[in-house]
Amino acid sequence: VVDGKGRFFRGQIVEAGKKSCILDLKLVRSLEQRADYHLRVAISPTKTNERFEWFLEKATEIGVDEIFPLACQRTERPRIRLDRYEKIVRSAMKQSLQAWLPQLHPLTPLTDFIQTLSSSEQGYMGWCDKTVNTPLWTQYQAPHDVCILIGPEGDFTSDEVAVAQEAGFKPVTFGPNRLRTETAGVVATQLIQTLNAIAGQSY
């Protein structure tokens, strides 16, 4: 049994019901926080719910600390099922044998979220504009706390890009091809994990 807070337990069933049971738990091992860096991904929910759920699953398997569903001007899903998303994240954590559960936040407006970038974080935003030719891996300095913005299928508006840049986010690409929102989220998560692994910071 894992509690999502770094602790693994071995348990013995002492009472079983149709939908629940009571366990006698004994701590087997406790793990320290996963890494010397903190990864936040803020991403616009996709119109097709299955695609966003796929992102949640894969990003959790790869390794992410916090996920913020992001409400942008072109976001096509104005409401989310946070309870369902939490179950998906929890299941992915268990499946990938991780001890720490990513923190999943409610839907947050972009204009509010960008104000949370701290002075200790590096902030980047994926932007599909043809003038952007700076890959994330040439900018991110590992190990370092980092926050990634991923926009909706229609991309960020020019106004959103302007306010995000003013808040400290740098436009980057995640490779030579144009990616769907959920794919961009997974690629960005893996890039950060890989760059930190290369720098010697195991996740």
User: Does pLDDT of 94 surpass 70?
Assistant: yes
**12 and 50 within one domain:** no
| pLDDT at residue 50 in the model | 96
**38 and 24 within one domain:** no
Give the integer Cα–Cα distance in Å for 26 and 11. 6
Average pLDDT over residues 124-150: 96
**99 and 14 within one domain:** no
| pLDDT at residue 200 in the model | 82
**143 and 60 within one domain:** yes
Find out whether 121 and 180 touch, Cβ atoms under 8 Å: no
Q: Is residue 100 part of a domain?
A: yes
**111 and 65 within one domain:** yes
User: Does pLDDT of 34 surpass 70?
Assistant: no
pLDDT band at 24 (very low <50, low <70, confident <90, very high): low
User: Does pLDDT of 70 surpass 80?
Assistant: yes
User: Does pLDDT of 131 surpass 70?
Assistant: yes
Sorted by sequence, the CB contacts under 8 Å of residue 39 that are 6+ apart come out as 63, 64, 65, 66, 145, 146, 147, 148, 189, 192, 193
**68 and 24 within one domain:** no
**83 and 48 within one domain:** yes
Query: How many domains does one find in the chain?
Result: 2
Q: Is residue 152 part of a domain?
A: yes
**173 and 120 within one domain:** yes
H helices of the chain, where? 49-62, 82-95, 110-113, 158-167, 181-198
Q: Is residue 180 part of a domain?
A: yes
Give the integer Cα–Cα distance in Å for 145 and 195. 12
- SS3 state at 23: strand
Q: Is residue 203 part of a domain?
A: no
CATH code of residue 52: 3.40.1280.10
Average pLDDT over residues 61-79: 96
Q: Which helix (H) or strand (E) holds 80?
A: none
Q: Is residue 25 part of a domain?
A: yes
- Polymer length of the chain: 203
Give the integer Cα–Cα distance in Å for 59 and 185. 7
**16 and 109 within one domain:** no
User: Does pLDDT of 43 surpass 60?
Assistant: yes
Q: Is residue 192 part of a domain?
A: yes
Q: Is residue 5 part of a domain?
A: yes
Domain around 10: 1-32
**102 and 161 within one domain:** yes
Q: Is residue 118 part of a domain?
A: yes
Question: Is 158 or 36 the better-scoring residue by pLDDT?
Answer: 158
Query: pLDDT by residue (tens digit) across 180-189?
Result: 999 999 999 9
Question: Is 99 or 125 the better-scoring residue by pLDDT?
Answer: 125
**116 and 45 within one domain:** yes
**76 and 25 within one domain:** no
Instruction: State the chain's mean pLDDT as an integer.
Output: 90
